[in-house]
Structure formats: structure tokens, C-alpha cells
Structure 1
Amino acid sequence: MHRYPEGLLEFVKDNYLIMDNRALAEAVGFIFHYPMTAKAMNSLKKNHHLSGGPRVKVYTQAWPKEVCDFIKAHYKGNGHQKMANMVNSNFGTSYSRDQIKGFYARNKLDSGLRGDLEKGRGWNKGKKMSPEQYEKCKGTMFQRGSRPHNAVPVGTEVIRDDGYHQTKIAEPNVWMLTHILIWQQANGDVPEGCLVSFKDGNPDHISIDNLFLETRQEHLEMNRRGYRSEFPEITEAGLNVAKLRIAARHISDKRKKKEAQPMAKRTTEKPIKLNREKYKEVRKMDHATLEDYLNEIYFRGSRDAQAAAGFDADKALEAISQIKGIGPGKLKEIERVLKGAANGNETQ
């Protein structure tokens, strides 16, 4: 096993985050008289799982140290082309604008130049054109109140790239889809969350008889189920089916939500909790009081069960009457009990 001089590893562990490999190697050679290269120091750090620290700046023949230092000292306020000219003039090189731009980006150098003109800094601000220049530009000058050559009057209808028609409704450039405009003229504003669609699916057939209103949910249902058609009657039928499916889904979701709730949450009555105080109270009850309390619990549970299952006392009585061995007298007694339970009355 390779052994390093005593204290060398501890020195590296204490300083590797603030010194690069080259500096560490030189320090180790000076302090411990143990010659190392930057590459050997990098291997030592990897073998002992020491990661991080500053990287060694490697200069190349294309970017020597003096050029790099010069650019870093003068990049503020100098753009890429100007810096390329400065470097080439001082060092006799032939750097291009793109090479300097790449150097700026790699080294995160911001010249501070934004390339836009600040307000009031136009190159020709305050200068008047010569008569010759004015004569050349006069024919294409924009005059106050003039309209562009492609301006159209209010009421103009055009076809968009997606095939829908739109109409200009106001100046300078306010447009609205033509079929929505027709609908609003006949029925008023389109309600929020609704869409105006074509019964036959043809955006060129703009007629109030060919338009219908649908909610976004109905629009999604019709697209998903393929309920639209080139025949208006089929589309209208599809809209009705979509409305029925949405309504049925709402009812089903409401029923599932109700069934998922605990039984006690479906009634207005508070659930009975047997805590320590209630337990002590029950222990002190006499026979009659305890019987009334138990009957109350029974009938409350019976009402909850009937409400949840849709209990029908008449149907239950009819089913019981089919049982052999139950005569008219016993059936009358059962009927009294069932009717009393269905009405929430206690029977003795």
C-alpha cells in the first residue's frame, strides 16, 4: 500500500476546497518535500473521495494567459467586435467577433451593453434632413390622420386561416367572429361558459337557423362521443343525448358521494357516543329508563337503515304474509310494529 508522508492527507483534506490541484501539489512539495503533479493530486483526491474545490485554469495556445487576462481586464463597456479589434491590435492575433462572443459566454463576462437606444439617444435626434433627403422621402412619409393602404371599413367580412368568418365591428382594428355576431344580434350576449356552434359543422353556412348554444361540458361530450354530423337534425339529437348523459353522470356522482359518507353523516341526528360520562350515566339507570334508552337507539338505527335502503313497510308486510305459520292475528301485530317503525314511533 502506498504511504504518504505523515500529515499530508490531513493537509489535503483541510485545503482541497480552497486550493486547486496545482496549488495543492506545489504546497505539498514545499511543506512535505513530496513532489507531486496536478494530475497526481487529482488521483489522490479521487482515491479518498474528495470532490469539489476550485478547478485548475488551463490556458491553451489558442487562448494564452496574457490574452485571457487582457480581455477580463477590459471587457466592461466593450462589445464583441470592438474587443476583437483591441486584442488583435495588441497581440497581433486574428480573433473574430464570434470567438470573442464565445469567450464572454464561457467566462460569464457581461459588457453592460444592451444594444438598444435609450429614450432621447437617437443618432439623428434634433437633426434636420437636407432638401435632397426630404425630396427622396416625401412620397412615403406617414402623414397625421392617414390610413394604411390595407385598412378596411367597419362591416368588412374576411375568412381566417382556420376557415371561420370574422367581421370588423369597430375602429381601428376590432374584429368578431361572424357567427357569434349573428347570434348576439338575435339572442343577446353569449352566456359565460357557453359556445356558439354550427349544427351542420360548416363555418361557411352562417345562418341563425344553423347556430346553437352549448356549454363547454356539452361541447366536450359531443366531441368525445362523436355526436356531431353534417345533418342538423342529428346534431340536435346528439346535443340532447349529451345533456342526458351529463345529467345522469351528475346524479350517479351525487349518489356515490352520498353512499361513501358514514351512516351518521346522512341523518340530522347526532351519533350516540359512549364516552366515560355516558357510561356512568347508563350504569345508574333503572330498568325502565335503560329500556327506553335502548329502544331509542334501536329506532334511530332503524330509521337510518330505512332512509338508506328505501324501506317500504307495505312490501315487507306482503312478503311476511307469504310465510307459512303466520296467521291473521300475528300479521296484524307485525303490521303495527312495522308501521310504527316506519313512522319513527316506538312500540311496546
Structure 2
Amino acid sequence: MPKNKYTSEMLDYLREIAPGRFNDEITQLFNERFDMDVTDSQMKSLRSRHKIQSSLDPKDRGIRANQSKRLFTDEQIRFIKKNAIDTSNIALTNLINAEFGTSFTLKQIKGWKKNRRVSSGLTGHFEKGHVPINKGTKGMFNVGGNKTSFKKGQTAHNFKPIGTERVDREGYVLIKVADEGTWPERWKFKHKVEWEKVNGPIPEGYVLIFLDGNKQNLYSSNLKLITKSQNLQLNRKQWRFDNAEATEVGLSLARIKEKISKIQKEPTSLADEVSR
């Protein structure tokens, strides 16, 4: 995928989920969030270009391997197995998304079933003497006949109105803001939507964090706009806490580190300061 296809929102999301995760897990979460098909190698290159690190020791991979490959929750797995028999992959994808308010793709459902040998029992072939359900109706591909087809203006059973909220796998509250466009254009992080209502668009080079670490605490006092370099320091030094005041202290240290880094990159500025 061309570099310019990755939006600032996508890169910000990577910076938020990368700490504490391996590349394959980051890739999986990214693809689920934006309904994409990025490979592990593409993700590795993308993170390298934008200096997005996970700060993980490779020796921890064995411990986390089983945790990092889960696509569905236990409840969703039970739902898939219960409804897989005599159900096409397309229908099963629609069912699970309607049941859990998710946005799993057909490819994810098919891949998961294939890897775990979960079969629908459907062969894709009609038995001898079978009478098609749409026999005598108009429309060669209109399975079920015209009487049960969607009519113009009819709303899908899993349609979610604007303003609908849901919590994603990372614990972020998402809110639907539009009926048209791509998934990222229709669903936004609610904390960003609420913050931007008051303060305007988040400036380039900045991110919004939760001071107490609770992604569902959307009070303005819990949201803090910081630079991406400060955010990187919070991740690297593990200066994030479930206490807002403690995180503020960590942020103060991150600002100091940021200033020191700038001074070190401009030795002439430091010399000027000393000479004054």
C-alpha cells in the first residue's frame, strides 16, 4: 500500500496500541480497526518509517504468544460455533456483527474457521432433484425471490443510527458520526469528538491521552493534549498510571526529557545560554 494511504489517525492509533505488543498483534489490531489487510512485513516497515516502537523484549514473545493471536472473545467463539452449521460465511459474518456490534470482515471469519476446521456443512452444490428456492421468480441471483429482497430505502437489520456508541477491543468508546463513507469516516473516537467540539481539531504532532488511564472516562479534566514525543517518553519510561496526578508528574518528567533532547540537538543554543 502506498505510504500516503496511511492517515494521521491510523498512525496515532499505532502509537497508542504499539507499547507492550509484538508486531503480529499490532498488525491484527490495526487491520481489525480499519478493515484493512496489511501484512506483518508491511506493518514492520511502516512502524520503522515512523519510529513507532513497542519497547518489548523479544524473550517475552513465548509468554505472550498465545495472548497475541486472539481475534474473537470466548463468547464470540461460542456464537460462531453455534451458528456455523448450515450458515454461509457471508451470513455468519452478518450475524456476528449484528449480535456484537462489531465490524469483522468476511475474510477474518473464513480464515478463523479454516484454521480451526469449523465447517458449515454446506458443499456449495445442490443435491439431485433439489428445487431452487427462487424458482419462478425474477432475478437469476435473487435468492429467496423478490418478495424478500431489500427494497429501495429499506434499512438493514444491523443498521446503527448516528450517535450510536460502542466500546472497541482496546476499551475506547467509539461513536457513529456519519452514515456514508469508510469505516473510519463513519466511526470516531468519542473522546476526540468531544474534545474537538470545545477546542477545535487536534494539532499536527499532538495526541490526546487519558490521565487516569481509563479510556471510558471522557470528562474534560481527564483528557490531556500532549506532543507525540512526550507521549513516546510516557510509553518508554512507563510513566503512565491509573492516577491522574501521578501521570501529570510523569508528563512533567517527559517535558524535561523533551527539552533536554532539543538542547542536545542544538549545542550552539546551549553555548549561547552559558555565555549570557
Q: TM-score, normalised by structure 1?
A: 0.35
Q: Which has the higher contact order (CA 8 A, sep 6+)?
A: 2
TM-score of the two chains, using structure 2 as the length reference: 0.44
